[in-house]
Amino acid sequence: MKTVKLKKKEDRRILRGHPWVFSNELERVPDDAAPGELVDVLDSTGRFVARGYLNPHSLIAVRILTRKQEPVDRDFFRSRIETARNLRVQLGFGDSFRAVFSEGDGLPGLIVDKYADTLAVQSSTAGMERQLDTVLDALTEVYAPAAIVLRNDTASRELEGLLQEKKVVRGSLAGPVLIEESGLKYEIDVLEGQKTGFFFDQRENRQALRNLAPGRRTLDCFCYVGAWSLNAAQFGATEVIGIDSSAKATDLAARNASLNGLAVTFRTADVFEELRSLEKERERFGLMILDPPAFVKSRAKVREGLRGYKEINLRGMRLLEPGGFLVTCSCSHHIDQDLFTEMLIDAAHSAGRQARLLEMRSQARDHPMLLAARETQYLKCAILVID
């Protein structure tokens, strides 16, 4: 196995548990190293530090898999996948959840979502791509799924020199998959839906509507397949309107509302334009949910993305009646909690409203955050009362 050596004094962050080695922290990369190849990471004195996979063309040169000199084989992956599964079972996640959360479960570059008896798999790095057949074998051993779907259609794969693709690689899939979350049923389009079809990361945050929704007219922006909307309706909102720009999403959301016997109105519209129209019409709501897709895909887009977040939040605040609740989120990992909070302060000022923070939440527990790697905490969910 090839080795890479850290420069002097560049091992502290790695020894403290961070799973990434950056290219400028290495003395050199072997000339014949292939993207995704397993390597041992040594400190400047030649002592073993970790084992991971290398991409000589990436800023993140090595992603660490283990701190032991152990084989990275099917037994290794099965053990990690079993450990991840056992945690979800212990935490009471039922039969649908995020089964593997990349670095948070010690498997960088791998995302697995379990939709009842179907697994949706994303491999986002060259290293994980080289191990993919072994990973699929391990997943089959642990879960015995009816189908495994590859959702390798993320832009991040291109940065690793990988092609985008989505397909059923094992078993068969006939149409949407039916799942249950927090007592609600959903049809999920695993093959064509956004990301892998559903957003498990907001599971526990949606339950916070229990004490916010009763008796309130509710607007759910970027509603996708209706998960926030359905929870608001279930918890006693007087009226629920969901808006999304995708007709496919709103059609599926309407089917999900019907599936649960809930009255929700879904509209296909551009959220930015719809918020402006609602403001002109002097509409008012007691609860608003803003859960947009990631506006910031890279550090270079942070300023532009913050403008988008501010725009929807200030307009949302203007639409809330005094004492109304705003549940507002960002899944852009380039925007940390401090930046997100500053944006909300600016939005409240521009809206001419006073905002009080009741709670700042993050991703669900099936998306565990690696304590030594702040990058694994990406979701911000602020619950505000707007005076």
CA–CA separation, 304 and 310 (whole Å): 10
What is the chain's alpha carbon radius of gyration, rounded to the nearest angstrom? 22
Contacts of 28 by beta carbon, 8 Å cutoff, 6+ apart: 4, 5
Q: Is position 331 annotated as part of the catalytic site? A: yes
Question: Among 244, 224, 242, which Cα is nearest to 233's?
Answer: 242
Torsion of CA 333, 339, 340, 345, to 10 degrees: -170
Strand ranges inside the chain, DSSP E: 2-5, 20-22, 37-42, 48-54, 60-66, 96-101, 110-115, 118-123, 147-152, 165-171, 177-181, 184-188, 217-221, 239-244, 265-268, 285-290, 320-330, 355-361, 380-386
Instruction: Tell me the pairing of strands 96-101 and 110-115.
Output: antiparallel
Contact in structure between 320 and 284 (CB atoms under 8 Å): yes
Lookup: tokens for 45: 């004195």
Kindly state the tokens that stand for 155: 């832009």
Written as one string, the DSSP assignment of 13-30 is HHHTT--EEEGGGBS---
Distances (CA, A) of 249 to 193, 253, 254: 8, 6, 9
In a 10 Å sphere around its CB, with 0-12 CB exposed, 13-18 middle and 19+ buried, how is residue 71 labelled?
A: exposed
25 touches 8 (CB < 8 A): no
Alpha helices (runs of H) in 53-199, residue ranges in sequence order: 74-90, 126-130, 132-143, 156-159
Backbone angles phi, psi at 309, to 5 degrees: -60, -45
From 334, 384, 383, select the one nearest 362 (Cα to Cα): 383
Q: Which of 221, 223, 329, 331 is catalytic?
A: 331
Q: Where in the sequence numbering do the catalytic residues fall?
A: 331
